[in-house]
Structure 1
Amino acid sequence: MSVTVAVPTGNIGKFLLPKLLESGKNITVLTRSPQKLEPTIRERVTIRQGALEDANFILEATKGTEAIYWLNPGNKKAEDVHGWYRLYGKSVANAVQKNRIEYVVNISTIIPEVVEAGVADGIVHVEEFLNETDANVVHLRPGFFLENLLPQISELKFKGTITFPIPPDREVAFIATSDIADVAADYLLNKNWKGKKIHILHGGEDLTFEAATKSLNDAIGTTLKYNYISLENFYKDLIAKGVTKAAAEGYTDIYRSMHLPREVEGIRSSETTTPTTVGLWGKRVLKPKLDSL
Protein backbone atom coordinates (compact mmCIF):
# COMPACT_ATOMS: atom_id res chain seq x y z
CA MET A 1 0.00 0.00 0.00
CA SER A 2 1.25 3.47 -0.89
CA VAL A 3 0.29 6.47 1.21
CA THR A 4 0.94 10.04 0.12
CA VAL A 5 1.29 12.84 2.67
CA ALA A 6 0.93 16.53 1.81
CA VAL A 7 2.60 19.14 4.05
CA PRO A 8 4.72 16.55 5.88
CA THR A 9 6.57 19.13 7.98
CA GLY A 10 3.45 20.83 9.35
CA ASN A 11 2.15 20.64 12.91
CA ILE A 12 0.20 17.47 12.11
CA GLY A 13 2.44 15.96 9.45
CA LYS A 14 5.50 15.83 11.69
CA PHE A 15 3.59 13.50 14.05
CA LEU A 16 1.81 11.59 11.28
CA LEU A 17 4.87 10.54 9.28
CA PRO A 18 6.57 8.49 12.03
CA LYS A 19 3.30 6.66 12.72
CA LEU A 20 2.88 5.74 9.08
CA LEU A 21 6.51 4.68 8.72
CA GLU A 22 6.19 2.39 11.75
CA SER A 23 3.56 0.44 9.80
CA GLY A 24 6.04 -0.42 7.07
CA LYS A 25 4.00 1.25 4.32
CA ASN A 26 5.57 2.95 1.33
CA ILE A 27 5.27 6.68 1.99
CA THR A 28 5.50 9.53 -0.52
CA VAL A 29 5.63 13.13 0.68
CA LEU A 30 4.63 16.23 -1.25
CA THR A 31 6.57 19.30 -0.18
CA ARG A 32 8.02 22.56 -1.39
CA SER A 33 10.94 22.28 1.04
CA PRO A 34 12.39 18.75 1.44
CA GLN A 35 15.25 20.17 3.51
CA LYS A 36 12.78 20.79 6.35
CA LEU A 37 12.25 17.05 6.79
CA GLU A 38 14.12 15.38 9.61
CA PRO A 39 17.13 13.50 8.16
CA THR A 40 15.93 10.22 9.67
CA ILE A 41 12.57 10.72 7.95
CA ARG A 42 13.98 11.99 4.65
CA GLU A 43 15.89 8.81 3.96
CA ARG A 44 12.83 6.60 4.50
CA VAL A 45 10.30 8.31 2.24
CA THR A 46 9.90 9.10 -1.44
CA ILE A 47 10.07 12.85 -1.90
CA ARG A 48 8.13 14.74 -4.56
CA GLN A 49 9.03 18.42 -4.56
CA GLY A 50 6.48 20.92 -5.81
CA ALA A 51 3.53 23.19 -5.06
CA LEU A 52 0.20 21.77 -3.90
CA GLU A 53 -1.73 24.26 -6.01
CA ASP A 54 0.02 22.92 -9.14
CA ALA A 55 -2.51 20.46 -10.59
CA ASN A 56 0.01 18.84 -12.94
CA PHE A 57 2.50 18.26 -10.13
CA ILE A 58 -0.12 16.67 -7.87
CA LEU A 59 -1.43 14.50 -10.69
CA GLU A 60 2.02 13.10 -11.49
CA ALA A 61 3.22 12.86 -7.87
CA THR A 62 0.23 10.81 -6.69
CA LYS A 63 0.23 8.12 -9.36
CA GLY A 64 0.06 4.70 -7.70
CA THR A 65 -1.27 6.16 -4.45
CA GLU A 66 -3.97 4.22 -2.62
CA ALA A 67 -4.54 6.70 0.21
CA ILE A 68 -3.69 10.38 0.59
CA TYR A 69 -3.47 12.74 3.54
CA TRP A 70 -4.32 16.27 2.42
CA LEU A 71 -3.91 19.57 4.24
CA ASN A 72 -4.51 23.02 2.79
CA PRO A 73 -1.80 25.52 3.73
CA GLY A 74 -2.89 29.09 4.21
CA ASN A 75 -1.56 31.97 2.15
CA LYS A 76 -1.09 35.29 3.92
CA LYS A 77 -0.34 36.94 0.58
CA ALA A 78 -3.55 35.79 -1.10
CA GLU A 79 -5.64 38.48 -2.78
CA ASP A 80 -8.59 36.10 -3.11
CA VAL A 81 -8.92 33.69 -0.18
CA HIS A 82 -11.79 31.67 -1.64
CA GLY A 83 -10.02 31.48 -5.00
CA TRP A 84 -6.88 30.19 -3.28
CA TYR A 85 -8.72 27.29 -1.65
CA ARG A 86 -10.70 26.53 -4.80
CA LEU A 87 -7.34 26.13 -6.53
CA TYR A 88 -6.29 23.59 -3.89
CA GLY A 89 -9.60 21.79 -4.10
CA LYS A 90 -9.48 21.46 -7.86
CA SER A 91 -5.84 20.34 -7.75
CA VAL A 92 -6.32 17.47 -5.30
CA ALA A 93 -9.74 16.39 -6.58
CA ASN A 94 -8.41 16.14 -10.13
CA ALA A 95 -5.56 13.89 -8.99
CA VAL A 96 -7.81 11.77 -6.77
CA GLN A 97 -10.26 11.14 -9.59
CA LYS A 98 -7.81 10.59 -12.46
CA ASN A 99 -5.43 8.43 -10.42
CA ARG A 100 -8.33 6.52 -8.84
CA ILE A 101 -7.09 7.14 -5.32
CA GLU A 102 -9.42 5.15 -3.08
CA TYR A 103 -9.06 6.93 0.27
CA VAL A 104 -8.60 10.56 1.23
CA VAL A 105 -8.10 12.01 4.72
CA ASN A 106 -8.65 15.75 4.43
CA ILE A 107 -7.86 18.20 7.22
CA SER A 108 -10.66 20.74 7.33
CA THR A 109 -11.89 22.90 10.21
CA ILE A 110 -14.45 22.71 12.98
CA ILE A 111 -16.31 25.83 11.80
CA PRO A 112 -16.57 25.61 7.99
CA GLU A 113 -20.28 26.31 7.68
CA VAL A 114 -20.46 29.42 9.84
CA VAL A 115 -21.45 32.51 7.87
CA GLU A 116 -18.47 34.78 7.16
CA ALA A 117 -15.97 32.37 8.65
CA GLY A 118 -13.25 33.68 6.35
CA VAL A 119 -10.44 31.23 5.75
CA ALA A 120 -12.49 28.46 7.36
CA ASP A 121 -15.30 29.13 4.91
CA GLY A 122 -12.73 28.94 2.12
CA ILE A 123 -11.50 25.54 3.25
CA VAL A 124 -15.00 24.13 2.77
CA HIS A 125 -14.46 24.50 -0.98
CA VAL A 126 -11.85 21.75 -0.77
CA GLU A 127 -14.39 19.51 0.94
CA GLU A 128 -16.85 20.21 -1.87
CA PHE A 129 -14.43 19.31 -4.63
CA LEU A 130 -13.34 16.10 -2.89
CA ASN A 131 -16.96 15.11 -2.31
CA GLU A 132 -17.46 15.13 -6.08
CA THR A 133 -14.86 12.38 -6.57
CA ASP A 134 -15.43 8.63 -6.40
CA ALA A 135 -13.03 8.26 -3.45
CA ASN A 136 -13.85 7.39 0.13
CA VAL A 137 -13.24 10.72 1.88
CA VAL A 138 -13.14 11.64 5.55
CA HIS A 139 -13.00 15.31 6.46
CA LEU A 140 -11.37 15.76 9.86
CA ARG A 141 -12.66 18.94 11.46
CA PRO A 142 -10.44 19.70 14.45
CA GLY A 143 -10.88 22.43 17.01
CA PHE A 144 -8.37 25.08 18.12
CA PHE A 145 -4.80 23.82 17.78
CA LEU A 146 -2.86 24.12 21.02
CA GLU A 147 0.15 24.62 18.77
CA ASN A 148 -1.37 28.01 17.85
CA LEU A 149 0.21 29.19 21.10
CA LEU A 150 3.75 28.41 19.94
CA PRO A 151 4.25 31.42 17.63
CA GLN A 152 3.81 33.49 20.80
CA ILE A 153 6.48 31.57 22.69
CA SER A 154 8.63 34.68 23.31
CA GLU A 155 5.65 36.61 24.71
CA LEU A 156 4.78 33.65 26.92
CA LYS A 157 8.32 33.44 28.23
CA PHE A 158 9.24 37.09 28.68
CA LYS A 159 5.90 38.90 29.01
CA GLY A 160 3.81 36.16 30.58
CA THR A 161 0.89 36.73 28.22
CA ILE A 162 -1.24 34.67 25.83
CA THR A 163 -2.98 36.91 23.29
CA PHE A 164 -5.93 36.06 21.01
CA PRO A 165 -9.11 37.78 19.78
CA ILE A 166 -11.31 35.19 21.50
CA PRO A 167 -13.56 36.32 24.38
CA PRO A 168 -12.08 35.10 27.69
CA ASP A 169 -15.37 33.50 28.75
CA ARG A 170 -16.02 31.67 25.47
CA GLU A 171 -15.39 27.91 25.67
CA VAL A 172 -12.92 26.60 23.10
CA ALA A 173 -12.33 23.04 21.88
CA PHE A 174 -8.57 22.76 22.44
CA ILE A 175 -6.76 19.97 20.59
CA ALA A 176 -3.16 18.78 20.33
CA THR A 177 -1.98 18.18 16.76
CA SER A 178 -0.43 14.87 17.81
CA ASP A 179 -3.96 13.64 18.56
CA ILE A 180 -5.14 14.73 15.10
CA ALA A 181 -2.23 12.76 13.64
CA ASP A 182 -3.31 9.66 15.58
CA VAL A 183 -6.82 9.82 14.12
CA ALA A 184 -5.53 10.51 10.61
CA ALA A 185 -3.11 7.57 10.82
CA ASP A 186 -5.89 5.25 11.94
CA TYR A 187 -8.00 6.16 8.91
CA LEU A 188 -5.09 5.92 6.47
CA LEU A 189 -3.85 2.56 7.73
CA ASN A 190 -7.13 0.79 8.50
CA LYS A 191 -9.30 2.24 5.71
CA ASN A 192 -12.33 1.41 7.81
CA TRP A 193 -14.94 3.64 6.17
CA LYS A 194 -16.80 4.01 2.90
CA GLY A 195 -18.26 7.03 1.15
CA LYS A 196 -18.00 10.59 2.44
CA LYS A 197 -17.69 11.26 6.15
CA ILE A 198 -17.21 14.20 8.52
CA HIS A 199 -15.34 13.53 11.77
CA ILE A 200 -15.32 16.45 14.20
CA LEU A 201 -12.44 16.49 16.70
CA HIS A 202 -13.05 18.52 19.86
CA GLY A 203 -9.77 17.60 21.50
CA GLY A 204 -9.27 16.77 25.16
CA GLU A 205 -11.55 19.34 26.76
CA ASP A 206 -13.61 22.48 26.31
CA LEU A 207 -12.20 25.39 28.30
CA THR A 208 -12.40 29.16 28.27
CA PHE A 209 -9.07 30.86 27.63
CA GLU A 210 -9.02 32.01 31.24
CA ALA A 211 -9.44 28.41 32.41
CA ALA A 212 -6.93 27.13 29.86
CA THR A 213 -4.37 29.67 31.03
CA LYS A 214 -4.86 28.54 34.63
CA SER A 215 -4.45 24.92 33.54
CA LEU A 216 -1.18 25.77 31.82
CA ASN A 217 0.05 27.66 34.86
CA ASP A 218 -0.72 24.68 37.11
CA ALA A 219 0.98 22.30 34.69
CA ILE A 220 4.22 24.15 34.11
CA GLY A 221 4.52 26.47 37.12
CA THR A 222 4.18 29.79 35.33
CA THR A 223 2.14 32.94 35.89
CA LEU A 224 0.70 33.41 32.42
CA LYS A 225 -2.21 35.79 31.90
CA TYR A 226 -4.73 35.86 29.09
CA ASN A 227 -4.74 39.06 27.05
CA TYR A 228 -7.89 39.49 24.95
CA ILE A 229 -7.54 41.81 21.97
CA SER A 230 -10.35 43.11 19.80
CA LEU A 231 -10.98 41.81 16.30
CA GLU A 232 -10.19 45.26 14.97
CA ASN A 233 -6.77 45.33 16.63
CA PHE A 234 -6.06 41.77 15.51
CA TYR A 235 -6.83 42.77 11.92
CA LYS A 236 -4.62 45.86 12.16
CA ASP A 237 -1.75 43.78 13.55
CA LEU A 238 -1.97 41.40 10.58
CA ILE A 239 -1.92 44.27 8.10
CA ALA A 240 1.10 45.76 9.90
CA LYS A 241 2.88 42.43 9.47
CA GLY A 242 2.38 42.51 5.70
CA VAL A 243 -0.64 40.23 5.41
CA THR A 244 -2.89 41.16 2.48
CA LYS A 245 -6.21 42.80 3.21
CA ALA A 246 -8.12 39.77 1.88
CA ALA A 247 -6.12 37.29 3.96
CA ALA A 248 -6.29 39.49 7.07
CA GLU A 249 -10.07 39.68 6.71
CA GLY A 250 -10.19 35.91 6.27
CA TYR A 251 -8.19 35.15 9.40
CA THR A 252 -10.10 37.76 11.40
CA ASP A 253 -13.40 36.22 10.34
CA ILE A 254 -12.30 32.87 11.78
CA TYR A 255 -12.02 34.52 15.18
CA ARG A 256 -15.23 36.46 14.59
CA SER A 257 -17.00 33.11 14.29
CA MET A 258 -15.55 32.20 17.70
CA HIS A 259 -17.62 34.99 19.23
CA LEU A 260 -20.71 32.96 18.36
CA PRO A 261 -22.27 30.38 20.73
CA ARG A 262 -20.25 27.21 21.31
CA GLU A 263 -23.02 25.11 19.72
CA VAL A 264 -21.83 26.03 16.22
CA GLU A 265 -18.92 23.63 16.69
CA GLY A 266 -21.05 20.55 17.35
CA ILE A 267 -21.76 18.42 20.39
CA ARG A 268 -18.85 16.70 22.13
CA SER A 269 -18.98 12.89 22.19
CA SER A 270 -16.61 9.97 22.75
CA GLU A 271 -15.85 9.95 19.01
CA THR A 272 -14.92 13.64 18.98
CA THR A 273 -12.84 13.58 22.18
CA THR A 274 -9.08 12.97 22.06
CA PRO A 275 -6.75 12.17 24.98
CA THR A 276 -4.50 15.21 25.39
CA THR A 277 -5.76 17.87 27.80
CA VAL A 278 -4.46 21.43 27.90
CA GLY A 279 -2.44 20.70 31.03
CA LEU A 280 -0.89 17.55 29.60
CA TRP A 281 0.07 19.41 26.43
CA GLY A 282 1.61 22.12 28.57
CA LYS A 283 3.85 19.58 30.32
CA ARG A 284 4.79 17.65 27.18
CA VAL A 285 5.19 20.43 24.63
CA LEU A 286 5.07 23.95 26.03
CA LYS A 287 7.31 23.57 29.09
CA PRO A 288 10.28 22.10 27.19
CA LYS A 289 10.07 24.92 24.64
CA LEU A 290 9.87 27.58 27.33
CA ASP A 291 12.78 25.99 29.19
CA SER A 292 14.90 26.06 26.04
CA LEU A 293 14.65 29.84 25.64
Structure 2
Amino acid sequence: MIVITTPTGNIGSQVLRVLLEGAPQHGEELRVVVRDPAKLADSVRERVEVVSGSHGDPEIVDRAFAGADAVFWVVPLDAQAPSLEIAYSGFTRAVAQAFTAHGVGHVVGVSALGRGTALADRAGLVTASLAMDDLIAGTGVAYRALALPSFMDNLLREVGSIRDNGVFTDSVAADRKAPSAATRDIAATAAGLLLDRSWTGTGSVPVLGPEDLSPNDMARIMSEVLDRPVRYERQSLEDLGAALTGHGIGAAFVQGMVDMKRAKDEGLDDGVPRTAQTASPTTFGQWCEQVLKPAVLA
Protein backbone atom coordinates (compact mmCIF):
# COMPACT_ATOMS: atom_id res chain seq x y z
CA MET A 1 0.00 0.00 0.00
CA ILE A 2 1.37 3.40 -1.08
CA VAL A 3 -0.17 6.57 0.37
CA ILE A 4 0.02 9.79 -1.66
CA THR A 5 -0.45 13.17 -0.01
CA THR A 6 -1.38 16.27 -2.07
CA PRO A 7 -2.74 14.08 -4.92
CA THR A 8 -4.26 17.12 -6.62
CA GLY A 9 -1.12 19.26 -6.29
CA ASN A 10 1.42 20.05 -8.99
CA ILE A 11 3.84 17.24 -8.11
CA GLY A 12 1.47 14.96 -6.19
CA SER A 13 -0.97 14.67 -9.10
CA GLN A 14 1.84 13.62 -11.41
CA VAL A 15 3.17 11.11 -8.88
CA LEU A 16 -0.32 9.64 -8.68
CA ARG A 17 -0.59 9.44 -12.46
CA VAL A 18 2.73 7.58 -12.76
CA LEU A 19 1.77 5.22 -9.95
CA LEU A 20 -1.60 4.49 -11.51
CA GLU A 21 0.30 3.37 -14.60
CA GLY A 22 2.91 1.32 -12.75
CA ALA A 23 1.38 0.18 -9.47
CA PRO A 24 -0.82 -2.62 -10.88
CA GLN A 25 2.25 -4.25 -12.44
CA HIS A 26 3.89 -4.24 -9.00
CA GLY A 27 0.79 -5.45 -7.19
CA GLU A 28 0.52 -2.17 -5.28
CA GLU A 29 -2.65 -0.65 -3.87
CA LEU A 30 -2.92 3.13 -3.75
CA ARG A 31 -4.48 5.37 -1.13
CA VAL A 32 -4.71 9.17 -1.30
CA VAL A 33 -5.28 11.80 1.37
CA VAL A 34 -7.16 14.77 -0.04
CA ARG A 35 -9.16 17.64 1.43
CA ASP A 36 -11.64 17.75 -1.45
CA PRO A 37 -12.17 14.38 -3.18
CA ALA A 38 -14.25 16.14 -5.83
CA LYS A 39 -11.00 17.49 -7.28
CA LEU A 40 -10.01 13.96 -8.21
CA ALA A 41 -11.16 12.75 -11.62
CA ASP A 42 -13.80 10.03 -11.54
CA SER A 43 -11.39 7.68 -13.30
CA VAL A 44 -8.89 8.23 -10.45
CA ARG A 45 -11.38 7.81 -7.61
CA GLU A 46 -12.41 4.47 -9.07
CA ARG A 47 -8.86 3.13 -8.78
CA VAL A 48 -7.67 4.44 -5.41
CA GLU A 49 -8.82 4.41 -1.82
CA VAL A 50 -9.66 7.94 -0.70
CA VAL A 51 -9.20 9.34 2.80
CA SER A 52 -10.86 12.75 3.05
CA GLY A 53 -9.25 15.45 5.17
CA SER A 54 -5.99 17.20 5.93
CA HIS A 55 -2.81 15.17 6.16
CA GLY A 56 -1.80 17.40 9.04
CA ASP A 57 -4.69 16.06 11.14
CA PRO A 58 -3.55 13.25 13.52
CA GLU A 59 -6.85 11.39 13.19
CA ILE A 60 -6.75 11.56 9.40
CA VAL A 61 -3.18 10.31 9.07
CA ASP A 62 -3.88 7.61 11.64
CA ARG A 63 -6.50 6.25 9.25
CA ALA A 64 -4.46 6.95 6.14
CA PHE A 65 -1.29 5.21 7.29
CA ALA A 66 -2.90 2.04 8.67
CA GLY A 67 -1.40 -0.82 6.70
CA ALA A 68 0.76 1.51 4.60
CA ASP A 69 4.14 0.38 3.31
CA ALA A 70 5.24 3.68 1.77
CA VAL A 71 4.19 7.35 1.81
CA PHE A 72 4.74 10.24 -0.60
CA TRP A 73 4.98 13.26 1.68
CA VAL A 74 4.48 16.93 0.78
CA VAL A 75 3.86 19.81 3.16
CA PRO A 76 1.25 22.17 1.70
CA LEU A 77 2.56 25.71 1.89
CA ASP A 78 0.71 27.72 4.53
CA ALA A 79 1.17 31.35 3.56
CA GLN A 80 -0.48 32.49 6.80
CA ALA A 81 1.47 30.35 9.28
CA PRO A 82 2.89 32.37 12.21
CA SER A 83 6.32 30.79 11.69
CA LEU A 84 8.07 28.57 9.19
CA GLU A 85 8.77 26.04 11.94
CA ILE A 86 5.02 25.65 12.45
CA ALA A 87 4.40 25.51 8.69
CA TYR A 88 6.87 22.69 8.10
CA SER A 89 7.93 20.74 11.19
CA GLY A 90 4.79 21.66 13.12
CA PHE A 91 2.60 20.32 10.33
CA THR A 92 4.71 17.16 10.10
CA ARG A 93 5.11 16.28 13.80
CA ALA A 94 1.90 14.24 14.13
CA VAL A 95 2.68 12.54 10.85
CA ALA A 96 6.15 11.55 12.04
CA GLN A 97 4.58 9.88 15.05
CA ALA A 98 2.14 8.06 12.77
CA PHE A 99 4.98 6.71 10.65
CA THR A 100 6.33 4.99 13.74
CA ALA A 101 2.96 3.93 15.15
CA HIS A 102 1.92 2.20 11.93
CA GLY A 103 5.32 0.81 10.99
CA VAL A 104 5.52 2.67 7.69
CA GLY A 105 8.66 1.37 6.02
CA HIS A 106 9.54 4.00 3.42
CA VAL A 107 8.85 7.71 2.98
CA VAL A 108 9.71 9.94 0.02
CA GLY A 109 9.43 13.66 0.71
CA VAL A 110 9.65 16.85 -1.33
CA SER A 111 12.48 19.01 -0.04
CA ALA A 112 15.25 21.24 -1.36
CA LEU A 113 18.90 21.54 -2.25
CA GLY A 114 21.26 23.26 0.18
CA ARG A 115 22.06 20.75 2.92
CA GLY A 116 25.66 21.02 4.04
CA THR A 117 26.21 24.47 2.55
CA ALA A 118 27.10 27.61 4.49
CA LEU A 119 23.75 29.06 3.42
CA ALA A 120 21.55 26.21 4.71
CA ASP A 121 20.74 27.84 8.05
CA ARG A 122 19.64 31.17 6.54
CA ALA A 123 17.69 30.14 3.50
CA GLY A 124 14.13 30.69 4.70
CA LEU A 125 11.75 28.11 3.26
CA VAL A 126 14.66 25.80 2.45
CA THR A 127 15.97 25.92 6.01
CA ALA A 128 12.53 24.98 7.31
CA SER A 129 12.24 22.15 4.79
CA LEU A 130 15.61 20.69 5.79
CA ALA A 131 14.56 20.77 9.45
CA MET A 132 11.43 18.84 8.48
CA ASP A 133 13.64 16.25 6.79
CA ASP A 134 15.59 15.84 10.04
CA LEU A 135 12.34 15.34 11.95
CA ILE A 136 11.20 12.56 9.61
CA ALA A 137 14.64 10.92 9.50
CA GLY A 138 14.67 10.90 13.31
CA THR A 139 11.73 8.48 13.38
CA GLY A 140 13.90 5.66 12.01
CA VAL A 141 11.84 5.28 8.84
CA ALA A 142 13.73 4.75 5.60
CA TYR A 143 13.57 8.26 4.13
CA ARG A 144 14.56 9.89 0.88
CA ALA A 145 14.30 13.65 0.62
CA LEU A 146 14.00 14.86 -2.95
CA ALA A 147 16.63 17.63 -2.99
CA LEU A 148 15.18 20.02 -5.53
CA PRO A 149 16.23 23.25 -7.25
CA SER A 150 13.75 25.75 -8.63
CA PHE A 151 11.03 24.29 -10.84
CA MET A 152 10.69 25.09 -14.54
CA ASP A 153 6.95 24.92 -13.94
CA ASN A 154 7.10 28.00 -11.71
CA LEU A 155 7.14 30.03 -14.92
CA LEU A 156 3.52 29.04 -15.51
CA ARG A 157 2.65 31.65 -12.87
CA GLU A 158 3.89 34.27 -15.34
CA VAL A 159 2.15 33.06 -18.47
CA GLY A 160 0.13 36.27 -18.72
CA SER A 161 3.19 38.50 -18.50
CA ILE A 162 5.15 36.35 -20.94
CA ARG A 163 2.27 36.35 -23.44
CA ASP A 164 1.23 39.99 -23.12
CA ASN A 165 4.49 41.76 -22.27
CA GLY A 166 7.26 39.35 -23.23
CA VAL A 167 8.65 39.57 -19.69
CA PHE A 168 9.34 37.21 -16.80
CA THR A 169 10.83 38.14 -13.45
CA ASP A 170 12.89 36.73 -10.60
CA SER A 171 15.27 38.15 -8.03
CA VAL A 172 18.52 36.43 -9.04
CA ALA A 173 21.24 37.96 -11.20
CA ALA A 174 20.51 37.73 -14.91
CA ASP A 175 23.68 35.78 -15.62
CA ARG A 176 23.58 33.42 -12.61
CA LYS A 177 23.48 29.87 -13.88
CA ALA A 178 21.64 27.35 -11.69
CA PRO A 179 19.88 24.01 -12.00
CA SER A 180 16.16 23.76 -12.60
CA ALA A 181 13.94 20.72 -12.99
CA ALA A 182 10.62 19.88 -14.61
CA THR A 183 8.05 18.69 -12.08
CA ARG A 184 7.24 15.68 -14.26
CA ASP A 185 10.83 14.47 -13.78
CA ILE A 186 10.55 15.03 -10.04
CA ALA A 187 7.33 13.00 -9.99
CA ALA A 188 8.91 10.20 -11.98
CA THR A 189 11.82 10.03 -9.53
CA ALA A 190 9.45 9.93 -6.56
CA ALA A 191 7.29 7.22 -8.12
CA GLY A 192 10.35 5.10 -8.88
CA LEU A 193 11.48 5.25 -5.26
CA LEU A 194 8.00 4.39 -4.00
CA LEU A 195 7.68 1.36 -6.26
CA ASP A 196 11.20 0.00 -5.76
CA ARG A 197 11.70 0.06 -2.01
CA SER A 198 15.01 -1.79 -1.87
CA TRP A 199 16.69 1.27 -0.34
CA THR A 200 17.27 1.69 3.38
CA GLY A 201 18.39 4.38 5.81
CA THR A 202 18.08 8.10 5.15
CA GLY A 203 19.46 10.33 2.45
CA SER A 204 18.69 12.81 -0.28
CA VAL A 205 18.02 12.32 -3.98
CA PRO A 206 18.88 15.40 -6.06
CA VAL A 207 16.89 16.07 -9.23
CA LEU A 208 18.90 18.71 -11.09
CA GLY A 209 17.65 18.80 -14.65
CA PRO A 210 20.12 18.26 -17.53
CA GLU A 211 21.92 21.64 -17.44
CA ASP A 212 22.45 24.86 -15.51
CA LEU A 213 20.83 27.92 -17.06
CA SER A 214 20.72 31.61 -16.23
CA PRO A 215 17.59 33.76 -16.56
CA ASN A 216 19.14 35.23 -19.71
CA ASP A 217 19.59 31.70 -21.09
CA MET A 218 15.95 30.95 -20.30
CA ALA A 219 14.82 34.18 -22.00
CA ARG A 220 16.72 33.20 -25.15
CA ILE A 221 15.23 29.69 -25.22
CA MET A 222 11.71 30.97 -24.56
CA SER A 223 12.08 33.50 -27.37
CA GLU A 224 13.13 30.74 -29.77
CA VAL A 225 10.34 28.35 -28.79
CA LEU A 226 7.57 30.94 -28.63
CA ASP A 227 8.83 32.77 -31.73
CA ARG A 228 8.51 36.10 -29.97
CA PRO A 229 10.94 38.18 -27.89
CA VAL A 230 11.01 37.35 -24.18
CA ARG A 231 13.27 39.15 -21.73
CA TYR A 232 14.16 38.85 -18.08
CA GLU A 233 13.60 41.63 -15.54
CA ARG A 234 15.33 41.33 -12.19
CA GLN A 235 13.15 42.20 -9.22
CA SER A 236 14.69 43.49 -6.01
CA LEU A 237 14.15 41.50 -2.84
CA GLU A 238 12.43 44.53 -1.36
CA ASP A 239 9.98 44.66 -4.25
CA LEU A 240 9.44 40.91 -4.01
CA GLY A 241 8.60 41.20 -0.34
CA ALA A 242 6.25 44.12 -0.96
CA ALA A 243 4.47 42.27 -3.76
CA LEU A 244 3.94 39.18 -1.63
CA THR A 245 2.68 41.29 1.25
CA GLY A 246 0.34 43.08 -1.15
CA HIS A 247 -1.17 39.73 -2.06
CA GLY A 248 -2.02 39.08 1.58
CA ILE A 249 0.86 36.69 2.29
CA GLY A 250 1.80 36.44 5.97
CA ALA A 251 4.97 38.01 7.34
CA ALA A 252 6.72 34.71 8.16
CA PHE A 253 6.21 33.31 4.67
CA VAL A 254 7.24 36.58 3.02
CA GLN A 255 10.49 36.66 4.99
CA GLY A 256 11.05 32.97 4.27
CA MET A 257 10.66 33.54 0.53
CA VAL A 258 12.96 36.57 0.56
CA ASP A 259 15.62 34.69 2.52
CA MET A 260 15.39 31.72 0.17
CA LYS A 261 15.72 33.90 -2.92
CA ARG A 262 18.71 35.70 -1.42
CA ALA A 263 20.39 32.38 -0.65
CA LYS A 264 19.75 31.07 -4.16
CA ASP A 265 21.35 34.19 -5.63
CA GLU A 266 24.36 33.54 -3.38
CA GLY A 267 24.75 29.96 -4.63
CA LEU A 268 22.51 27.80 -2.45
CA ASP A 269 21.79 25.37 -5.30
CA ASP A 270 25.37 25.07 -6.53
CA GLY A 271 26.69 22.44 -4.13
CA VAL A 272 25.60 19.18 -5.78
CA PRO A 273 27.45 17.99 -8.90
CA ARG A 274 25.42 16.86 -11.86
CA THR A 275 25.97 13.18 -12.61
CA ALA A 276 24.06 10.44 -14.38
CA GLN A 277 22.29 9.82 -11.06
CA THR A 278 21.43 13.44 -10.22
CA ALA A 279 20.51 14.72 -13.69
CA SER A 280 16.94 14.49 -14.95
CA PRO A 281 16.02 14.27 -18.64
CA THR A 282 13.70 17.14 -19.57
CA THR A 283 15.57 20.10 -21.05
CA PHE A 284 14.23 23.61 -20.62
CA GLY A 285 13.65 23.81 -24.36
CA GLN A 286 11.57 20.62 -24.29
CA TRP A 287 9.59 21.89 -21.32
CA CYS A 288 8.93 25.21 -23.08
CA GLU A 289 7.75 23.41 -26.22
CA GLN A 290 5.55 20.89 -24.43
CA VAL A 291 4.25 22.84 -21.42
CA LEU A 292 4.88 26.59 -21.62
CA LYS A 293 4.01 27.13 -25.28
CA PRO A 294 0.55 25.51 -25.06
CA ALA A 295 -0.16 27.57 -21.93
CA VAL A 296 0.88 30.80 -23.64
CA LEU A 297 -1.10 30.04 -26.78
CA ALA A 298 -4.17 29.16 -24.72
Please indicate the TM-score interval, normalised by the length of the shorter structure.
over 0.9
Once residues 168 and 271 of structure 1 are traced to their aligned partners in structure 2, the CA distance between those partners, rounded to angstroms, is 28
Residue by residue over 1:245-267, the C-alpha shift from the partner in whole angstroms, topping out at 9 and shown as x without a partner, is: 11100111110111213664422
Once residues 198 and 166 of structure 1 are traced to their aligned partners in structure 2, the CA distance between those partners, rounded to angstroms, is 25
Structure-2 change in CA distance of 1:121 and 1:263 (3 Å): closer
Structure-2 change in CA distance of 1:79 and 1:263 (3 Å): closer
Tell me whether 153-162 or 229-238 shows the greater mean CA deviation: 153-162
Once residues 221 and 229 of structure 1 are traced to their aligned partners in structure 2, the CA distance between those partners, rounded to angstroms, is 25
Tell me whether 63-72 or 20-29 shows the greater mean CA deviation: 20-29
1:209 to 199, 205, 215: 215
Q: Which runs of 5+ in 1 are unaligned?
A: none
2:155 maps to: 149
Question: Which aligned pairs between 1:1-293 and structure 2 lie closer than 5 A?
Answer: 2-23=1-22, 24=24, 25-111=28-114, 114-261=120-267, 264-292=270-298
Tell me whether 283-292 or 54-63 shows the greater mean CA deviation: 54-63
Tell me if the contact between 2:113 and 2:269 (Cα under 8 Å) persists in the aligned partners. Answer: no
Once residues 228 and 48 of structure 2 are traced to their aligned partners in structure 1, the CA distance between those partners, rounded to angstroms, is 40
The alignment covers a number of residue pairs equal to 291
Displacement of 1:156 in angstroms is: 1.1
The alignment's C-alpha RMSD in Å is: 1.4
Tell me whether 260-269 or 277-286 shows the greater mean CA deviation: 260-269
Residue by residue over 1:100-149, the C-alpha shift from the partner in whole angstroms, topping out at 9 and shown as x without a partner, is: 00011111111356231111111112211111122211111111111111
Moved over 2 A (4+): 261-265
| Secondary structure of the corresponding residue to residue 138 of structure 1 | strand
What TM-score do the two structures reach when normalised by structure 1? 0.95
Once residues 262 and 239 of structure 1 are traced to their aligned partners in structure 2, the CA distance between those partners, rounded to angstroms, is 24
| Secondary structure of the corresponding residue to residue 68 of structure 1 | strand
Once residues 248 and 55 of structure 1 are traced to their aligned partners in structure 2, the CA distance between those partners, rounded to angstroms, is 28
Tell me if the contact between 1:219 and 1:280 (Cα under 8 Å) persists in the aligned partners. Answer: no
Q: Which runs of 5+ in 2 are unaligned?
A: none
Once residues 41 and 203 of structure 2 are traced to their aligned partners in structure 1, the CA distance between those partners, rounded to angstroms, is 32
Once residues 277 and 141 of structure 1 are traced to their aligned partners in structure 2, the CA distance between those partners, rounded to angstroms, is 18
Displacement of 1:285 in angstroms is: 0.4
Once residues 112 and 83 of structure 1 are traced to their aligned partners in structure 2, the CA distance between those partners, rounded to angstroms, is 20
Tell me if the contact between 1:16 and 1:184 (Cα under 8 Å) persists in the aligned partners. Answer: yes
